[in-house]
Amino acid sequence: MMPASLRPLLVAGGLLGLAGFVPLVADGYWLSIAVTILMYVALSTSWALFSGPTHYIALSTGAFFGIGGYLVGLGMSDYDQSFWAMAAIAPFVATGLAALIGWATLRLSGVYFVIFTLGLAEMIRNLISWIQNNFLGSRGLYVLTDLDERHIYWMLLAITAGVFLFGWRLGRSRLGFALRILGNDEEVARHVGINTARTKILMFMTTGFVAALVGAVVAPRYYYIEPNVVFSPELSFIVVIMALLGGTRRLYGPLLGVIPFTLLWEVISVSFPNATTMVLGLTFLLIVYGIPNGITGLLSGFAARRSA
């Protein structure tokens, strides 16, 4: 008989296997939407693995995503490196930066951490722009590969599968247990012998790794990369809203937030491009005052009332 703990993993594997056929039946606009959805599923799920249990709202996804995309462009344009080599290097660079940021900020209170990560993407963007303008003589970088949307989709699907597998394994590990105690009460976690700083830094490094890897894989979509394109603070807010909308208490929660919000964002961006910031604000208010536990929280509440 199949162990109950393996059933979610097998279901997820089956769904991911079916998702692999999407590029064979969709192309053009809808394939582009599918690529965007997968990108945000990987980003928001990895974000939730850190911020869900720790309650630290990290707004640094745009910074790590930008590092991944920019390093791919820099290596291919200026140093004649292959896409694959730079895509392999970029996540480890971002992980190292995440370790430094985590060591410097995660020992402080959550408010300071939020403020610092909010300005991180903007700080890196301005620094790179200054270096390019003063020393490199150009702003943009070309990412010219033979990869098309189908290849990018399948690579993102593999990353997403890896994130879900890691999250499933994390929930059954000592690190996951330590995260849950830490999220409930950090003082209690310290008293029972958990190294809270190391635990938070390790998980923050994981989000940096995934965000940079996704940014590197998505880089060929841009063709021409400049700091203003890849270092987007808006992306950080979108990832947070998607994860909170779906709910961070279930591994699949962010997925339930990504799909509807991506479709909504696409409609708003095309039809009402000046209203995107307002949509972000209204959605955040909806989450805070209407569904603080996300869609998964609503579903759990319905299930509990029916069983009662």
DSSP code of residue 224: E
Total domains in the chain come to 1
Nearest to 67 by CA among 113, 109, 128: 128
- Domain extent for 30: 18-233
Distance, CA of 41 to CA of 46 (rounded, Å): 8
Q: Is the pLDDT of residue 12 over 70?
A: yes
Q: Which two tokens stand for residue 277?
A: 């910031």
Is residue 308 over pLDDT 70?
Answer: no
pLDDT tens digits along 71-112:
999 999 888 899 999 999 999 999 999 999 888 887 666 677
Spatial distance between the Cα atoms of 105 and 45, rounded to a whole number of angstroms? 22
pLDDT of residue 6: 66
The string of pLDDT tens digits covering residues 106-153 is 766 667 788 888 888 888 888 888 887 777 666 678 898 999 999 999
Hey, how many other C-beta atoms are within 10 angstroms of the C-beta on 21?
9
Residue 210, in any domain of the structure = yes
**Beta pairing, strands 141-142 & 224-225:** antiparallel
Percentage of the chain lying above the pLDDT 90 cut:
51
pLDDT score, position 192: 83
Query: Does residue 270 lie in a domain region?
Result: no
Q: Which range, of 39-43, 67-71, 113-117, 203-207, averages the lowest pLDDT?
A: 113-117
In a domain, 286, yes or no: no
301 within a domain of the structure (yes/no): no
- Listed in sequence order, the DSSP H helices in the chain are 7-19, 22-25, 28-54, 61-78, 83-105, 110-131, 149-170, 174-184, 186-191, 196-218, 227-230, 233-246, 253-271, 276-289, 294-307
Residue 42 lies in a domain: yes
In a domain, 80, yes or no: yes
Residue 251 included in any domain:
no
pLDDT at position 54 is: 85
Longest CA–CA separation in the chain, Å: 68
Q: What is the distance, to the nearest Å, from the Cα of residue 13 to the centroid of all Cα atoms in its chain?
A: 20
Q: How does residue 5 score in pLDDT terms, banded at 50, 70 and 90?
A: low
Query: What average pLDDT does this structure show over 224-249?
Result: 91
Q: Decide if pLDDT at 166 tops 60.
A: yes
Q: Is residue 285 part of a domain?
A: no
